[in-house]
Structure formats: C-alpha cells, structure tokens
Amino acid sequence: MQMEELFKDFILQLKIKEDGLVYFRDNRSVLLSVPWFTTMQRELEGIIGADGAFVLIESAAKRWASRAVNDYAPLVKGKPFEEKIKFVLQMHSITGWGNWELAEFSSNPLQIIIKETRPYHEDAYGGKADGPRCYYQSGLVALIEELAKLEGLPPTKGTETKCMAQGDPYCEFVFSSAPE
C-alpha cells in the first residue's frame, strides 16, 4: 500500500469512542509531542546514564512489543516474512516514528537491515553522542524479533548499528540469528 493510502487508513482507524477516549485499532492511544520524548530521554540519561536509560526504556518497549505482535499478526497473516517486516515499518512510519525502510533482507542465513532517516531525537545530540540513541525503537526491534519467532525462525536479535545521534547519515538496525 502506498504511504498516502496508508495515512488515510491510519486516520480512519483513529476513533474517539463513547467513553471519550481515543483508540487506534482498539488500543487506547495518545498523540505525543516529539520534543517530549527527546527531553524525557535526555533527562533520564542525565540521571541514570545512557545505558540505564536504554535498559529502562527497552523494558517498557518490550512489553509493548509482546502486546503489539498480537495486533499485527492478523494484519500480516499469510504474507511472506519480508512483506510482514515491510508492513510493520510502514505502520511505524505512518504513526510518526520515523522514515523506515527495509534495506536488506536475507532469510538464510537470516540477515535483516532496516534504516531510518527521521529519528524522533532529531538534532538533539548534534551528531555528537558517544553511541546510538534510538532507545524507544527497542519496541520496534522487539516486535520484529517476536514476528521472527512466530515465523518459527531461530531466536533473532536486533541491534542499532548506526545512529544519526552519533553523526551517522541515518539510523540502522541489524537483525540476525542470536548465537546459541
């Protein structure tokens, strides 16, 4: 589906129900300001360091992924794994989480590379961070890992290998089979 159509569908799927709450595909949702995310992340880094902030954000993100995989499963049912990932990336983009693309896909051995060029942290780090900073994307990473599990693939691990926060031209995540 083209992004324009997908965006129209996304808007149609946002509903305010009789309880006065907003739902996206039956999940209560909020539209959050992007500066909020970045400031929150930087505040946490200031208090518990970059590694601590990552672990903490990752923990909540993984729980999100374990729920989201159930929402995505019927939407991508019957599609090849590569198409499933493309769909997930399109949905992640359309909901404002960046401009994602599947850059490389190989099923045997498993190697997936995804890229994005509009990270939520925007220019907050001025390209000078000492490591990757897309902490919130650990939810997307966990979602792809969960989808791989549903495909019956060996345990898959995704890692952020490039990040605009540290001066790379784009952010990149590489997935491969986790070592036994």
In three-state secondary structure terms, 68 is: helix
**Rounded CA Rg of the chain:** 16
Does position 126 interact with other proteins (CB under 8 A)? The reply is no
Residues 5-34 that bind other proteins (CB under 8 A): 7, 10-11, 14, 16, 19-22, 24, 27-34
The only residue of 49, 51, 52, 131 in contact with other proteins, by rule CB under 8 A? 52
Is residue 142 within 8 A of residue 61, CB to CB? The reply is: yes
Residue 37 to residue 24: CA distance in whole angstroms: 20
- Closer to other proteins at the Cβ: 110 or 118? 118
Does position 57 interact with other proteins (CB under 8 A)? The reply is yes
Min CB(176)–other proteins separation in Å:
25
Residues 6+ apart with CB under 8 A from 73: 150
Residue 45 to residue 39: CA distance in whole angstroms: 10
Residues making contact with other proteins (CB under 8 A)? 3, 7, 10-11, 14, 16, 19-22, 24, 27-37, 39-40, 43-44, 47-48, 52, 56-57, 59-61, 63-64, 67-68, 93-100, 116-118, 120, 122, 139
